[in-house]
Amino acid sequence: MVKDISILFLVIICFISCSTNISATNLSYTIPFQLIDDMVVIDISINGTSPLHFIFDTGTTTSLIDSISAQKTGLISDDTQGLLLNNDFLEMPIAKIKTLKTGNIVIENRPVIITQSFENYNRILGIPIHGIIGSDLFGKYITELNFDKSQIHLGRGIDTTGYEPINVRIYNDLFYIDATIFTSDTDSITNQFLFDSADMTAASLAQPFWTKHNLLSKSKSFYSGINRSSSSLTSPSYFANFKGFKLRNYSFKNTYLNLTSSKRGFFANDSIAGTIGIDILKRFNIIINMNNQKIYLKPNQKYNEPYRINTTGLRTRLNKDLTQCFIEAVLQQSPAEAAGLLQGDLLLSINDIKANKENISKIRQLTRSIPGTKLVFVIQRNNEIKEMTMICNTFSDK
């Protein structure tokens, strides 16, 4: 999302042409990953250093690393690359990684763009995020994203038995698929969506698309929010509940979609509907074959998990040095507002789970508990410790 979501690098549309030398002799590689608050995080060693945390992002064409990590790993920029970033054409520094190792794959002479820090990811996930890996890693291989095993497989002959094939359209090394939004039993809209594993929602809709189709008024209910990118950029959003969302032959009922309001970059594009995010993608084991312009889907163990619906009206966030957790916002008409919680409260615990960086993923999951769940908050306000109780429920500005 956020894209609570991570939207900043969706609009990178330039692919770095480079030669890749694989030191392993076989053609089958396995990369383990962690699913941290629904973000796919892999460990990568650069030039022999200790592993760094990178987000695996199917909505980004090239790899990026933050400037501090680049300096620590000895990466020195000797050139720049022009990128269209949030509707601004920027010249960004490029360095070359001598050796990149992740899982059992070793890649040599890999170009990488040096960019700003990934502060918002750090404060949301509770771990330092050092970079993003995109299609320049997996685009040359058939790639399986297996959520059951928490592994990424790269190879030439990955078995697609039991998977449903879907044709995709590839533009600028990113791939798009048709999906349908149902606003009622009889009314629906079909359009193309970007496949984006770094979007932390079920789907995010571009403002030209949802305003053209008047989707906010056609939603069953909605609440206001903030859509966050991987940097400091933010934009207002609505999270709107619709009758259903369909991806090929797979239907999802009563889904909340993120209606973005960005007037710049990817989500200001009037030629696409938006992105399909991790809250839907994690429900499938996915095989990507960019050469054949196909993806393959097979429902996995997460298929029937609850959706990421805010049932408290709270947004929590770690501070910059990841030592404390604050209530960043309290949404109107929400259980949090009714319970008396306020923006700026220092959150100490929820249901006796301490609100720290080690537990931030659990804390964020608790704010999305199923309706009817009782939560006991301990907060500090003006040097006074307070205990407040709420019952989770859906709520609406409508």
What pLDDT sits at residue 11?
35
What pLDDT sits at residue 16?
35
Mean pLDDT of 360-369: 93
Mean pLDDT of 303-311: 91
Q: pLDDT for 370-395, tens place per residue?
A: 999 999 999 999 999 999 999 999 99
Distance of CA 190 to the CA centre of its chain: 23
Question: Domain 314-391 belongs to what architecture?
Answer: Roll (2.30)
Spell out the residues 6+ positions from residue 7 whose beta carbon is closer than 8 angstroms to its own.
1, 199, 204, 227, 229, 230, 233, 260, 262, 265, 266, 267
Instruction: Find which of 79-93, 154-168, 260-274 is predicted with most confidence, using mean pLDDT.
Output: 154-168
Domain ranges in the chain are 8-155, 164-299, 314-391
| Separation CA 83–CA 78 (nearest Å) | 16
| Separation CA 211–CA 262 (nearest Å) | 12
Do 164-299 and 8-155 fall under one CATH topology? yes
| Separation CA 129–CA 56 (nearest Å) | 11
* Residue in 306, 25, 58, 367 with CA at minimum distance from that of residue 193: 58
pTM over 0.85: yes
What percentage of the chain reaches a pLDDT higher than 90? 68
Residue 129: pLDDT band (50, 70, 90) is: very high
Q: pLDDT for 330-346, tens place per residue?
A: 998 999 999 999 999 99
DSSP tag of 306: P
Residue 90: pLDDT band (50, 70, 90) is: low
Backbone φ and ψ of 392, nearest 5°? -65, 145
CATH class belonging to 164-299: mainly beta
Of 10-24, 172-186, 210-224, 350-364, the poorest mean pLDDT is in: 10-24
CATH class belonging to 8-155: mainly beta
3-state helix, strand, coil in the chain (%, to 5): 15, 45, 40
In Å, what is the CA distance from 33 to each residue of 53, 150, 290?
10, 5, 21
| Separation CA 246–CA 313 (nearest Å) | 27
What percentage of the chain reaches a pLDDT higher than 70? 87
Residue 357: pLDDT band (50, 70, 90) is: very high
Mean pLDDT of 199-217: 94
What is the separation, in whole angstroms, between the first and last Cα of the chain?
Answer: 22
Q: Look at phi and psi of residue 61 and say left if phi exceeds 0, alpha if psi is from -120 to 50, else beta.
A: alpha
> Are residues 1 and 277 in contact, defined by beta-carbon separation less than 8 angstroms?
yes
* Residue in 54, 32, 55 with CA at minimum distance from that of residue 144: 32
